Amino acid sequence: MGLGGIPGLLRVERLPSGGLGLGALVTLSALAREPQIRSLYPMLSEAAAAAASPQIRAMGTLGGNLLLNTRCCYYNQSGAWRSSLPVCLKAGGDTCNAIGGGRKCFAIFSGDLAPSLLTLGAQVQVTSPRGERALAVAELYTGDGVRPLALEPDELLTGVELPAPSEGAYSRYFKYRTRGSLEFPFASVAALIDVDRSTCLCREARIAIGAISSKPFLLDGLSDLLRGKSLVEPLIEEAADLAWRQSKPVENIAGVSARQRRRMVRVFVRRALSEASGRARTQEEA
Ligand SMILES: Cc1cc2nc3c(=O)[nH]c(=O)nc-3n(C[C@H](O)[C@H](O)[C@H](O)COP(=O)(O)OP(=O)(O)OC[C@H]3O[C@@H](n4cnc5c(N)ncnc54)[C@H](O)[C@@H]3O)c2cc1C
């Protein structure tokens, strides 16, 4: 039986907190074009518009996208192809073919929506025969490529709650891919940067990195580095270095090296901070 008949799963509603409540069955194309999301959370509509193809976005849902399985160029292959290599951890074996050994599976979580929801500090609602619970998007992902989701098999994701938007903050999603059309991200960056328009000093900066590891993650220490400071060149470079140090992809996407994916994280973080800074200065002058 489908989930379509369950009331509330298609909701897009303003919450008393000022945030937005989204049902799990809202499609990616609806997220991309919904006016409230475009104006309040631009990075989320950009991420939805960048996912997959128009046909898939018309069918693919918010819930399904958040709960995608992890991918790896050594795993997403036919049985015949895989039989030429040792059985990998994700296929029930005891090695990782991407790094040639080890006990950890590095399959990548490649959903386009999760980094933005992580940056925005969203929560997901989950229901099961035991009742309902809410968990932060950060807690939804385990970081284990074999079992990437912290949900039980009988749990249904019913919706997502976004906190009240940061008025006027810079909000953008960057997706690294080699084709402009249908392609999972090779690396992605979701940036929310709040710069005071009168002083041009950074109030807060939250950036999540996606598609380079088994879970999307927030850059650690970024706000501490930038808060209260002017986003000028040496500091932007320092922040881009911080992102580069915390990003450690392995060679598990065909056609693009881990080195290049890591480099693109640095490029996007630098670009986000430069754009946020430039925009605040333009507004201050106007
Ligand atoms: C060729 C191709 C290219 C793609 N490219 C991209 C891309 O570039 N970026 C991107 O982000 N995504 C991409 N996707 C994924 C796509 O955008 C959809 O997000 C994805 O297919 C999920 O679709 P769905 O909503 O039908 O979920 P399903 O495929 O039906 O579900 C995905 C998983 O989540 C479970 N599930 C779904 N909804 C719920 C729920 N409410 N509660 C509990 N469990 C649930 C399902 O049981 C399943 O295990 C691509 C998919 C394809 C086929």
pTM over cut 0.85: yes
d(CA 119, CA 130): 29
Local confidence band at 280 (pLDDT 50, 70, 90 cut-offs): confident
Q: How far is the CA of 68 from the centre of ligand 1 (A)?
A: 5
Mean residue pLDDT of the chain comes to: 95
Per-residue pLDDT band at 274 (split at 50, 70, 90)? very high
User: Average of pLDDT values for 85-93?
Assistant: 94
Mean pLDDT of 103-125: 97
Contact 79, 42 (CB under 8 A): no
Å from CA of 243 to ligand 1 middle: 28
The alpha carbon of 67 and the centre of ligand 1 are apart by a number of angstroms equal to: 7
**CA dihedral angle for residue 87, residue 90, residue 91, residue 93, rounded to 10 degrees:** 40
- pLDDT tens across 230-265, in order? 999 999 999 999 999 999 999 999 999 999 999 999
What's the rounded mean pLDDT across residues 262-280?
Answer: 96
Given this model, what pLDDT does residue 1 score?
65
Does the structure show a pLDDT above 80 at 80?
A: yes
Cβ of 112 closer than 6 Å to ligand 1, yes or no, is yes
- Nearest atom within ligand 1 for CA of residue 61: 25
Instruction: Read off the pLDDT band of 282 (50, 70, 90).
Output: confident
Q: For residue 214, which amino acid is it?
A: S
Does the CB atom of residue 62 touch ligand 1 within 6 A? no
Beta pairing partners, 125: 134, 159
Question: Among 194, 200, 142, which residue's Cα sits nearest to residue 170?
Answer: 194
Atom 38 (ligand 1) nearest CA:
64
Question: Does the C-beta of 91 come closer than 6 Å to ligand 1?
Answer: no
Protein residue closest via CA to atom 51 of ligand 1: 52
pLDDT one-digit tens code per residue, 176-197: 998 888 999 999 999 999 999 8
Q: Which of 57, 133, 184 to mutate to test the pocket of ligand 1 (most atoms within 8 A of CB)?
A: 184
Distance between CA atoms of residues 245 and 266, nearest Å: 9
Report pLDDT for 16. Answer: 97
Residue nearest to atom 37 of ligand 1 (CA): 64
Q: How far, in Å, is the centroid of ligand 1 from the Cα of 57?
A: 10
Tokens of 262: 């890591």
**Distance from residue 60's CA to the centre of ligand 1 (Å):** 6
Q: How much distance in Å is there from the Cα of 13 to the middle of ligand 1?
A: 23
Q: Between residues 170 and 7, which one has the greater pLDDT?
A: 170
Q: Is 182 in the pocket of ligand 1 (CB under 6 A)?
A: yes
In terms of Cβ atoms closer than 10 Å to its own Cβ (0-12, 13-18, 19+), residue 83 is: exposed
Is the Cβ atom of 127 under 6 angstroms away from ligand 1? no
Q: Does residue 167 surpass a pLDDT of 90?
A: no
Give mean pLDDT, residues 186-212.
96
Give the confidence band of 102 by pLDDT, cuts at 50, 70, 90.
confident
As a whole-number percent, the residues of the chain with pLDDT over 90 amount to 89
- Does the C-beta of 184 come closer than 6 Å to ligand 1? yes
- In short, whether 58's Cβ falls inside 6 Å of ligand 1 is no
